[in-house]
Amino acid sequence: MAKEVLLARPHPFIRKPMTEFLTGLGFSPTQDAPRSRPAAVVVSSSVTSEHGAFEDVLESVKKSHSGVPLVVATLVKPELAKGSIGRTLASVFPGKKVGYAGEGTAGDILVVRPDDLANSRTGQLFRQMLK
Q: So where are the chain's domains?
A: 3-129
Query: Tell me, what DSSP letter sits at residue 38?
Result: -
* Tens-level pLDDT at each residue, the chain (131 residues): 458 999 988 777 778 899 999 999 999 999 888 778 899 999 998 866 666 788 999 999 999 998 899 999 998 887 888 888 999 999 999 999 999 999 998 889 999 999 999 888 999 998 888 87
> Would you say domain 3-129 falls under CATH 3.40.50.2300?
yes
- CB-CB contact of 113 with 74 (8 Å): yes
Q: Compute the distance between CA of residue 36 and CA of residue 16 in angstroms, rounded to an integer.
A: 23
